[in-house]
Amino acid sequence: MEIALFSDIHANLPALEAVLSDIDSRQPDAIYCLGDLVGYNVWPNEVIATIRKRGIPTIAGNYDFGIGRASDDCGCAYKEEQEKANGKVSISYTNAMVGEQKRIYFRTLPTHIRVEFELGNDSEHLWQQQTPVSLLYYWYMVAPGE
């Protein structure tokens, strides 16, 4: 069984179209989107419409969660001041572009998808955008001694 997973499109319609074209050429048995449809780019509505038109099961990413609630906080883990400033511009733009119907859609998205396939000994999978603790909680890889 072949399963296609993708995430973090962040309103990049040309990238989404390229990914979906590649997925279509491979003809997987199932397709899932692991969230973060919007933010950072100029096609939030088109990306949402494409995902919905294709009926791709999708979970909420932290950015989707924030936009669904018209928040000025995407739940992003910016560290540098310039990242924070750029993030404010991005979420403001995205909030201005996304209408109420799309916010309602984001509020209906689950924070995880649990699927079971008969694939031998490894049949149950849990897919999510962030961590089991919270959609807005980040885990970082840290080298020993850091």
Q: What is the mean pLDDT of residues 115-144?
A: 59
Q: Inform me whether the pLDDT recorded for 115 exceeds 90.
A: no
Q: Give CA angle at 36 (66, 20), nearest 5°.
A: 150
Mean pLDDT score across all residues of the chain: 87
Name the residue ranges covered by the structural domains of the chain: 3-128
Predicted confidence band of residue 118 (pLDDT cuts 50, 70, 90): low
Q: What is the pTM of this model?
A: 0.84
Residue 128 has what pLDDT?
59
For the stretch 53-82, pLDDT in tens is 999 999 999 999 999 999 998 888 888 999
Residue 28 has what pLDDT?
95
* Pairing status of strand 30-33 against strand 112-116: unpaired
Q: Inform me whether the pLDDT recorded for 142 exceeds 80.
A: no
Name the residue among 59, 13, 54 with its Cα closest to residue 36.
Answer: 59
Task: Report how far residue 21's alpha carbon sits from residue 35's, in angstroms, rounded to the nearest whole number.
Answer: 19
Residue 133 gets which letter from DSSP?
A: S
Q: What is the mean pLDDT of residues 30-40?
A: 95
Task: Report how far residue 43's alpha carbon sits from residue 45's, in angstroms, rounded to the nearest whole number.
Answer: 6
Q: Which CATH number fits domain 3-128: 3.60.21.10, 1.25.40.10, 3.40.605.10, 3.30.930.10?
A: 3.60.21.10
Task: Report how far residue 52's alpha carbon sits from residue 45's, in angstroms, rounded to the nearest whole number.
Answer: 11
Q: In this prediction, what percent of the chain has a pLDDT beyond 70?
A: 79
Residue 114 has what pLDDT?
81
CA dihedral 49, 101, 88, 135 (to 10 degrees): -80
Task: Report how far residue 97's alpha carbon sits from residue 43's, in angstroms, rounded to the nearest whole number.
Answer: 9
